[in-house]
């Protein structure tokens, strides 16, 4: 693929059964896309991931590739979520695009102001890029104060991660000032619910209802979990802070993750999406609510 060979680490409870070939890797969601582009996938359990940590796992695979073949003499390590200084610059560019869109809106509505920018964060890179980008655009605590809905870990974890990423991106201030800057630049909410990639019934109900009403698909791991928590917890617990506000929810993708929840969503989808048979020969005997008679 464009001269590069993708190698991916997958944390899964099925690592051993896949290895023993008692269970197949599968072809659903992100795994399908990963395999379409020829990825080599390395599996580990959640316990192994927690024991070594993502950075050691990534470096270990890089070392393995270098030792294995001269064809892989320059593996490029990408951390979990692409969350490093380089990756976070992508969201700096995203904020620049947002500024251009806001300027276009102000051409017709000069008084328009953005009050809050809300998004999901799972590894910290999105939060670092958007928070620093908005700080560059507006200054500390300026327009569009960002709120990150953490879909895993704790708010303190994300504050520390954003501070480390800001340093990696070239923000040169001492550690005490950095912590104050980060906490002033972004508010992190605990939005993981039952846990990372674990959906509650309420979250799944929300995702289906939101899709039906807006035509926008939210994934259950990131954007769906984040928006559900923001609307049902953050806003409901402090409605006055958000009343009459202009709130931008930044959809950060991840739609392929919804395919993993097909079984969990089945009953909900049956209630909002029906299937009917067209009968052009007047030969179908099914109940009338499942047949559309076009024979006349």
Question: E strands, the chain, where?
Answer: 7-11, 40-44, 116-121, 145-150, 187-190, 247-250, 277-279, 291-293
Residues of the chain where predicted confidence (pLDDT) is lower than 70: 1, 71, 139-143, 286-287
Predicted confidence at residue 172, as pLDDT, reads 87
Bridge partners, residue 189, by sequence: 149
Q: What is the pTM of this model?
A: 0.90
The whole-number pLDDT of residue 194 equals 95
Q: 279 Cβ partners below 8 Å, 6+ apart?
A: 291, 292, 293, 294, 295
Q: 225-235 pLDDT, tens per residue?
A: 999 999 999 99
CB-CB contact of 94 with 248 (8 Å)? no
Residue 144 is predicted with a pLDDT of 79
Helix (H, G, I), strand (E, B) or coil at 48: helix
DSSP string, 190-243: E--TTSTT---HHHHHHHHHHHHHHS----TTTHHHHHHHIIIIIIHHSGGGTT
Q: What is the pLDDT of residue 200?
A: 96
- The confidence score (pLDDT) of residue 141 equals 42
């Amino acid at each position: 693929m464009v001269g590069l060979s993708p190698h991916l680490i997958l944390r899964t409870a099925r690592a051993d059964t896949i290895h023993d070939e008692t269970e197949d890797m599968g072809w659903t969601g992100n795994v399908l896309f990963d395999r379409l582009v020829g990825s080599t996938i390395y599996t580990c359990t959640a316990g192994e991931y927690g024991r070594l940590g993502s950075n050691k796992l990534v470096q270990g695979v890089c070392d393995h590739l270098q030792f294995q073949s001269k064809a892989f003499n320059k593996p490029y390590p990408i951390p979990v979520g692409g969350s490093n200084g380089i990756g976070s610059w992508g969201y700096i560019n995203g904020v620049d695009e947002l500024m251009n869109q806001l300027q276009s809106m102000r051409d017709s509505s000069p008084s328009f102001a953005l009050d809050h920018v809300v998004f999901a964060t799972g590894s910290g890179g999105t939060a670092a890029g958007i928070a620093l980008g908005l700080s560059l655009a507006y200054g500390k605590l300026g327009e569009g104060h960002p709120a990150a809905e953490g879909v895993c870990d704790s708010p303190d974890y994300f504050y520390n991660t954003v501070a480390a990423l800001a340093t990696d991106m070239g923000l040169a201030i001492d550690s005490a000032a950095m912590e104050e800057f980060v906490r002033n630049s972004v508010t992190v909410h605990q939005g993981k619910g039952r846990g990372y990639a674990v959906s509650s019934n309420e979250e799944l109900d929300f995702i289906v209802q939101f899709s039906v009403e807006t035509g926008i698909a939210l994934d259950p791991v990131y954007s769906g979990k984040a928006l559900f928590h923001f609307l049902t917890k953050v806003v409901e617990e402090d409605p006055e802070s958000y009343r009459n506000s202009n709130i931008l929810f930044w959809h950060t993708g991840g739609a392929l993750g919804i395919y993993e929840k097909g079984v969990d969503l089945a009953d909900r989808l049956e209630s909002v999406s029906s299937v009917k048979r067209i009968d052009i020969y007047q030969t179908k005997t099914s109940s009338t609510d499942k047949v559309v008679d076009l024979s006349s």
